Structures are given as structure tokens and as C-alpha cells.
């Protein structure tokens, strides 16, 4: 096991990794920007290193500064969390060059799965279903020909994309011509790669993802699934595990496909294989996230397995200490992402100082956060403040517990999405699991019931 790990991130995920390391007896080094001097992860780590000014490009994305901090503090490994450099193959490779373990998969795996077109092609080779579309990146004329063959509507997607950016929907040839260039420009701006490809657009699918763990000793397991269908602008808002609409046979088929996908790219570590499930229960691979996910606590609740600690153990060369048959689902878990945003004002970011912070607690309630009373929410980074996660013996109990927890949550000084989640969790459609990837925006938000 490692002696010391540098956590190349901030906020709640940095806090989460620091806590996991402490339980493993591993010392930690936090890195921070000038804006994050008083951040919780800085307070909790054994050591802390300033790496640059507030903008992420000059701090949390500044590879030389992070590696210099690692050298000064003599760490064995770097944990990237999620976001920032977590899926940066170059950073993973440079860590290896510097003699540091990157707590994640091999650089080649990150690069292979980071290309959406390359990942689609590899999945087709191992018989994992993919959505019909172009085999790789295409020009506008090729896109029009492909759309005519597979049928409208279609999605134009960034080949190097993620996080919902670089995506456009076209329902006709005219619309495809109108949005193709915009999708390519957004892809170039977001990912420094203007390549896009085409795939069939699925109306109102479910977004279902399978958690994977794999070690260097040939063991690849799944830890069942999460439903991440409640989304706004293709950004996840609320997740639950397991998926309320998945039958046993479909679950088994998807689990087999997820493990096949991970083995096909020689995956090592914690990762997530993401699928869309259409209204006829056909499922399709969409991408693999080669990192720990924001929503990993729901899987931890229902399996009793600490994913971050297992991720660190695997990276250090240890074998998984359990087999597939040891992974059992017990109960139900929900996660609400609480952001510093104002839902009543087009979800505008709400930076500022938190004057009062009283998160919920009590039986089977978990809050992963990086905030506290007196903490100043910075405008430079993602608006996620914390995650409220609840467990119940069944879905109704988990939902009732989440409702209770959200009503206990008190935050003053900034706007948050706590109120939105209170209404969401008590919605009749949600209670009946009648939702899909467009439901939040097309149905719930238009009713106006999200307002305080």
C-alpha cells in the first residue's frame, strides 16, 4: 500500500479521497488554488500545496505545477478524482514517466475510451450493442447520407466529447445542415477536437450505467447498475441504484455486456459502462467513464463496498478480495446533487459566502460535501456543493428518507438546488419511476412545480 497520495482535485471528491486514504493508513497531500486556501480538502489533508491562481487552467489543470507539488512532497501516487485531469491520458502517462502511480486505468485505455468513435468500434468488435450511426468521424455530406440511411431524428456528437457538450439533435436534413457546423465548433472549443459523428436519436430512453471494478490479476467484476436518467441539459441531477425499471433478464444481459466492454480494453480500476435503454428494452453502449463517478455512493450503499478504497488498493497492485458472487444488492439508494445555483433564475450560478450550513443527518443519510458555514463558493469551478445520499430497505423507504433529509437541509447566503430536489423527490411521476432522460425538462420543469 502507498505511503502518501496526492489528490489532484478539489471539493467534495477531494474530501472523499482523503477520507478513504486515512482509513487505509495513507497520508495525503492536497493541492489548492489561491481561491481555495480555506477549502475543506485543504484543512483535512496531512499536507497542502499551493499550485497556482484561481483559474483551473493555471492550477487544477496545470500538469507541471501538480507534478512539482508531487515531487516536493515525495508522494507514491496521484488520485485525480473526477473532472479536471481524471480522464487525461497525457497526464496519466506523464505520472508514470515521473515514477508515480496514476490511480486509474492505463493511459492507453483512457485514450481508447476517450474517443467516442473508437470506443464504439471496439464495442462492436466484442458484440456489445451500439446505437446505429457512422463508424467514425464524418463530414457534413457523410452525415446527411448516414442520417438518410438510419432515419431521423439523429444526434450529432463530439468524437472526443463528454458531459453533454458538442451534441445537437437534428430532425430533418435542413436541421442537420443548420446545426452540424455549430456542433463541430463546440467540440473544437470544448475538447480541442472538431471531429463529430452521427448516431440515431432515441426518444425518451433511460440512462443506465454499470459500475466496474477490475484489478491487475485478471479479475473484472460489475457492482450492478445505477439509473441516471434524471438530467438537465444532459447533466445528471439525481441518481438511484438499482434501476427501478430493469427486469432480471435485462439486468443480466447488460451486466455481461459491461464486463465484456471492460475486458475488451484491459480495464484496471473503477470505471463505469454507460448505456441507453429504449422503450422496447433494447440497450446500447454510449460510453465508458474511466474514473470514479460523482454518483458512486449509491453503489456503495447497496453493495457495502467502498469503491474509492478498492480503487486505491487495485492501483497499488493488490487483488480484489471478493468475487462476483460476493457482490449482493441490498436495499435501495438515492443521490441528490446539490448545486450552488438558482433554479428560479435559469439555474444561474450562485457564488458567495455560506452564512449558515446545516446538512441533514440521522439513520442511513450520507452527505459528501466540501462546504461549511463561512466557506466562500468560488465562481471559477463547477457549482456542485455536496451530494445527499440515502439508503432504504426498498425504494419507498429510500425516497421517504431522502424527503426527510432534504427538509432538514438548511443553507443560507447563497442559492442552492435543495428546494428543487424537495419538489422532485415528492413528485408523483418520480414516485412511480415514470421518468426518462427528457422528463425533467419536458415535463417536470414545465409544470413549474420546482419553484419554492
CB 295 within 8 A of CB 224: no
- Which residues lie closer than 8 Å to 101 by C-beta, 6 or more apart? 2, 76, 77, 78, 95, 315, 316
- Residue 18 burial (CB count, 10 A): 26
291 counts as catalytic: yes
Numbers of helices and strands, H then E, in the chain: 16, 22
For residue 301, what are the contacts with CB-CB under 8 A and spacing of at least 6? Answer: 241, 331, 333, 366, 389, 391
Contacting residues for 187 by C-beta, under 8 A, at least 6 apart: 158, 159, 160, 161, 165, 166, 193, 194, 195, 196
Distance CA 170, CA 291 (A): 31
Query: Which residues partner with 260 through β-bridges?
Result: none
CA-CA distance, 149 to 199, in Å (whole number)?
Answer: 11
Please tell me the distance from the alpha carbon of residue 300 to that of residue 364, in angstroms, as a whole number: 12
Catalytic residue among 251, 291, 313, 401: 291
**375 vs 396: CA distance, rounded Å:** 34
Q: In a 3-state reduction of DSSP, which class is residue 374?
A: coil
**Residue positions annotated with a catalytic role:** 291
Amino acid at each position: 500500500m502507498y505511503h502518501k497520495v496526492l489528490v489532484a482535485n478539489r471539493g467534495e471528491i477531494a474530501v472523499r479521497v482523503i477520507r478513504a486514504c486515512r482509513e487505509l493508513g495513507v497520508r495525503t497531500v492536497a493541492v489548492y488554488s489561491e481561491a481555495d486556501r480555506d477549502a475543506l480538502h485543504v484543512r483535512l489533508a496531512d499536507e497542502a500545496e499551493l499550485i497556482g491562481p484561481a483559474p483551473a487552467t493555471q492550477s487544477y489543470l496545470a500538469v507541471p505545477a501538480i507534478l512539482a507539488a508531487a515531487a516536493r512532497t515525495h508522494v507514491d501516487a496521484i488520485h485525480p478524482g473526477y473532472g479536471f485531469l481524471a480522464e487525461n491520458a497525457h497526464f496519466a502517462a506523464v505520472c508514470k514517466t515521473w515514477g508515480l502511480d496514476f490511480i486509474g486505468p492505463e493511459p492507453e485505455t483512457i485514450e481508447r475510451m476517450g474517443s467516442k468513435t473508437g470506443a464504439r468500434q471496439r464495442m462492436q468488435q466484442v458484440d456489445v450493442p451500439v446505437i446505429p450511426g457512422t463508424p467514425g468521424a464524418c463530414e457534413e455530406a457523410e452525415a446527411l447520407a448516414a442520417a438518410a440511411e438510419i432515419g431521423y431524428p439523429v444526434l450529432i456528437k463530439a468524437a472526443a466529447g463528454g458531459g453533454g457538450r458538442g451534441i445537437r439533435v437534428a430532425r430533418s436534413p435542413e436541421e442537420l445542415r443548420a446545426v452540424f457546423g455549430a456542433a463541430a465548433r463546440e467540440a473544437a472549443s470544448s475538447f480541442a477536437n472538431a471531429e463529430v459523428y452521427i448516431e440515431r436519436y432515441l426518444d425518451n430512453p433511460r440512462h443506465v450505467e454499470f459500475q466496474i471494478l477490475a484489478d491487475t490479476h485478471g479479475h473484472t467484476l460489475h457492482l450492478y447498475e445505477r439509473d441516471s436518467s434524471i438530467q438537465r441539459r444532459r447533466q445528471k441531477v439525481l441518481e438511484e441504484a438499482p434501476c427501478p425499471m430493469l427486469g432480471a433478464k435485462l439486468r443480466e444481459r447488460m451486466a455481461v455486456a459491461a464486463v465484456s466492454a471492460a475486458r475488451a480494453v484491459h480495464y484496471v480500476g473503477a470505471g463505469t459502462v454507460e448505456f441507453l435503454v429504449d422503450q422496447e428494452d433494447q440497450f446500447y453502449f454510449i460510453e465508458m467513464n474511466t474514473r470514479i463517478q460523482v454518483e458512486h455512493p449509491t453503489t456503495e450503499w447497496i453493495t457495502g463496498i467502498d469503491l474509492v478504497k478498492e480503487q486505491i488498493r487495485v492501483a497499488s497492485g493488490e487483488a480484489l478480495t471478493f468475487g462476483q458472487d460476493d457482490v449482493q444488492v441490498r436495499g435501495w439508494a438515492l443521490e441528490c446533487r446539490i448545486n450552488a445555483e438558482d433554479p428560479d433564475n435559469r439555474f444561474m450560478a450562485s457564488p458567495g459566502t455560506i452564512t449558515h450550513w446545516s446538512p441533514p443527518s440521522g439513520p442511513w443519510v450520507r452527505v459528501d460535501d466540501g462546504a461549511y458555514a463561512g466557506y466562500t463558493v468560488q465562481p471559477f469551478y463547477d457549482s456542485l456543493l455536496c451530494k445527499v445520499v440515502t439508503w432504504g430497505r426498498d425504494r419507498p423507504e429510500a425516497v421517504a428518507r431522502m424527503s426527510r433529509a432534504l427538509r432538514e437541509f438548511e443553507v443560507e447566503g447563497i442559492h442552492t438546488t435543495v428546494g428543487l430536489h424537495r419538489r422532485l423527490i415528492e413528485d408523483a411521476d418520480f414516485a412511480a419511476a415514470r421518468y426518462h432522460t427528457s422528463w425533467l425538462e419536458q415535463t417536470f420543469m414545465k409544470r413549474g412545480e420546482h419553484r419554492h
